[in-house]
Chains A and B, each alone.
Chain A
């Protein structure tokens, strides 16, 4: 029983991190039809800014997190304007190549700025404390991660379902031409969605640094993991990404607890079976 609860708590925390980082990828892939392999780079940028602010300049954790997320969004917006906008029109392979090139440039920039060592983000004392859950003790940090994850899915749901921006975004996704002829500024909508995704990735990268440690090669190392979340969840589906991220978090944690020697094999076999049965992902639209 304790084992099940352990898997549950660790898996959910891990899944929340995956969700925060991947949801932006799912949105850009579903909305703009762009295979963005550079998405993990935004998590890296966020983590690096947080490291620089907190470790080297002594900014407290939470202000550093907020500043790092803002900085990442500020960088992502002109990137969208100048580079990604041109990529949307390319074929799949050109998109893959272009975003791999961008990823290399991001890695090289971080490498030049901060070196290739581990970029730790010091946690404040309040997050390091443990709480007693009855069956085990857990760092407060994990609970905060879970809470922030739930807050972001809730926030995204409100944003997409209840605001004018959400309505316009969904309209632009369904039919860009019609939306734009109705007077919706689709350029602006896409840029805002891109910035939002980049910001969430940065937040996920910073909060998840304890689980997925940040260094310059972060985007390449975890690229496959983030892409699997999107493929399993179904492109463009926010809720699908959420389910997929939690499922993958739980699955990977469970295999690590139960069959530590064959965790990777079992994990990938599950992914293959699932994708073979449902090629469009859990909540993906057929033909989309």
Chain B
């Protein structure tokens, strides 16, 4: 029981926090849902970047693939939300696997450039295939059936919020189990020393491809969720800005842990929302200053703040004695 509290306690606290927020901000459910969707995207990036150590700035490629395929699936085939999420996950995984076969042979700046290039190509294809995707106007006309045949999507976004919260919880638990499983540990090992992992007989290349594919599937779920809840898919789903923002949220919160991305996403989205609402022209000052402050004072992300503060407190006592 104690071990259970220790490993799942913070997750439950976060869940209660999210539910509490929904009662505190009943008229901002769309915003909260948006945060939850970003949490899924940033979690997928954490698996790829924080655990497997693959630097990427193109996670939006899989997010967009999930969004467009889920949207098209809902319009042309079947409007069931859960089936749509599966389609989005498959689309993200397939794109990640195919591109990963080439991408995972490179590293560093080259890898970053290639991931950007893949997202840019997807963006351009979605833009040009106007008959299918609606091009720059976005994919419209997505009408979802009720979730599990029971909960219809409503105007306030109540269903959307609970649906997204359920999806986040499932993804979080899945990742928590995956990162503690031998596979997750081997990813950590690859991150820290690919040579040693190769020496003990791990196929580093295929582990990387697998991690990238699983990350792609999760990013696809995030995209599919966004398509279903907002009922529109825009070209922005493939944008470089989305990938870059997801990266900022991840590093802001702290990589290589699951609570870091959740925290980073919440803080970034709230600061962004608050700053942009107060001063639509100068909110970049606030974001820029926040990012710099975190890098300089909390290099391991906001999640390390309590530890750093304790050390600071202890240091102060030493200095005094």
Contact = CB atoms under 8 A, between A and B. Distances in A.
A35 B120 CA distance: 21
Interface string A223-250: 0100110110001000000000000000
A231 B296 contact: no
A140 interface: no
Interface string B236-276: 00001100100110011001000000000000000000000
A127 interface: no
Interface stretch (B76-84, B111-119, B139-147): B111-119
Given A90-B295, A275-B110, A105 B124 contact: no
Interface residues of A, number: 42
Interface residues of B, number: 42
Residues of A contacting B: mostly: helix
A54 to B, nearest CB: 25
A275 B113 contact: yes
Give the one of B113, B118, B296 with max A CB within 10 A: B113
Interface stretch (A106-114, A149-157, A203-211): A106-114
Contact of A93 (B121, B240, B255, B287): B255
B254 to A, nearest CB: 11
A97 interface: yes
A111 B251 contact: no
B296 A272 contact: no
B30 interface: no
Contacts of A262: 124, 128
Given A261-B128, A265-B121, A281 B288 contact: no
Interface stretch (B7-15, B66-74, B278-286): B278-286
Contacts of B255: 93
* A-B interface, 4 closest residue pairs, ranked by CB to CB distance from nearest: A104-B288, A101-B291, A108-B284, A105-B288
24 contacts: A35-B109, A86-B296, A90-B299, A93-B49, A93-B251, A96-B251, A97-B247, A97-B251, A101-B291, A103-B288, A104-B284, A104-B285, A107-B288, A108-B282, A108-B284, A112-B281, A220-B241, A231-B110, A235-B109, A262-B128, A265-B125, A265-B128, A271-B113, A276-B114
